[in-house]
Structure 1
Amino acid sequence: MRKERPKNLDLSTVKFPITATASILHRVSGIIVFIALAIFLFILNCSLSSAQDFQLVQGYLDTFIVEFVFWGALTGLAYHAVFGVRHMIQDLGYWEEMDSAALSAKVGFAITAVLSILAGVLVW
């Protein structure tokens, strides 16, 4: 006997809890950090190959797009670190209830916002 279940195909109506959003963004920030690491290692390799390449890389580092990538990578790293600590605390058995988990996610977002602003000051 097959039961017909209602289907909601309009994904714009789905509302994730803040804890789910924090968890998904933690995974996304891990991917961002991984890709940024590859970019930074490539830039480091180019800058160490010769004096001319070092001057070329130094010139690229003053462009807005590269500064924006650096800021994004630092923000992603800050988010990943803050929420990684949050996940480790949850693994120890704390903040597992929905209310405390939601509060810790909000605090994590606030800390990440402050660190993102500080990264912007550092980069620009």
Structure 2
Amino acid sequence: MTELTKKRPEFRNINAFKDLTTYRLPPAGWVSILHRASGGLMFVLLPLIVWLFDTSVSSEISFGRFTSAFSSGLGFVPAWLFKLVVLAIIWAYLHHLIAGVRHLYMDVCHAVSKEFGKSSALFTLITSIALTLLLGAKLFGIY
């Protein structure tokens, strides 16, 4: 009787140096990791976000300084690098927002299945990247 039963899989700890390079993370895992990374990025860049907001609304002179940071740079930081940092903030906000709505929807509607997790994760990844590319094109003056 024991010969007819299928051998159960053996679970072991993952070796970070050997196994992580070959491990295929599902889309829901990527969304989860990127959700945490985007939250951390927004937290780290919060002083810049506050400065951007304060400079853009304080006065006409400070708004001129705000716009010049995007056209000619800010101090030793060139304009293209400043725009890349702002683009990272844009991606972090969009991804964190969409992934957060995804998690809230799954919590409220009890939509916990493998199929929904994969499809909503792919939607989150594609939508956040597409919106970031769209806003990045505007930021870099493509349209």
Which bin holds the TM-score, normalised by the shorter protein?
A: 0.7 to 0.9
Aligned residue number for residue 51 of structure 2: 42
Task: Answer with 1 or 2: which has the greater Rg.
Answer: 2
In the alignment, which of 77, 92, 106 is matched to residue 90 of structure 1?
A: 106
**Deviation of 1:119 (Å):** 1.3
Q: Per the alignment, in what secondary structure is the counterpart of residue 111 of structure 2?
A: coil
The answer on whether the counterparts of 1:75 and 1:119 sit within 8 Å (CA) in structure 2 is no
Q: 1:110 to 1:6 in 2, by over 3 A?
A: closer
Aligned residue number for residue 106 of structure 1: 122
Aligned residue number for residue 119 of structure 1: 135
Q: TM-score, normalised by structure 1?
A: 0.79
Q: 1:103 to 1:45 in 2, by over 3 A?
A: closer
- Counterpart code for 2:98: V
**Deviation of 1:15 (Å):** 2.0
Aligned length: 119
Contiguous gaps of at least 5 residues in structure 1: none
Quick one: distance in 1 between partners of 2:49 and 2:12? 48
The answer on whether the counterparts of 1:71 and 1:120 sit within 8 Å (CA) in structure 2 is yes
Structure with a larger share of its residues in helix: 1
Contiguous gaps of at least 5 residues in structure 2: 1-10, 72-78
**Deviation of 1:43 (Å):** 4.4
Q: Deviations over 1:12-38 (max 9, x none)?
A: 122222211111110101111222322
Q: Deviations over 1:46-72 (max 9, x none)?
A: 6759x5x76555433221011111111
After superposition, the CA RMSD in angstroms is 2.5
Quick one: distance in 1 between partners of 2:53 and 2:108? 38
- Counterpart code for 1:30: G
Quick one: distance in 1 between partners of 2:130 and 2:55? 32
Q: Per the alignment, in what secondary structure is the counterpart of residue 15 of structure 1?
A: coil
The answer on whether the counterparts of 1:43 and 1:57 sit within 8 Å (CA) in structure 2 is yes
Q: How does 1:1-124 map to 2 (within 5 A)?
A: 6-9=12-15, 10=18, 11-44=20-53, 51=61, 57-62=66-71, 63-124=79-140
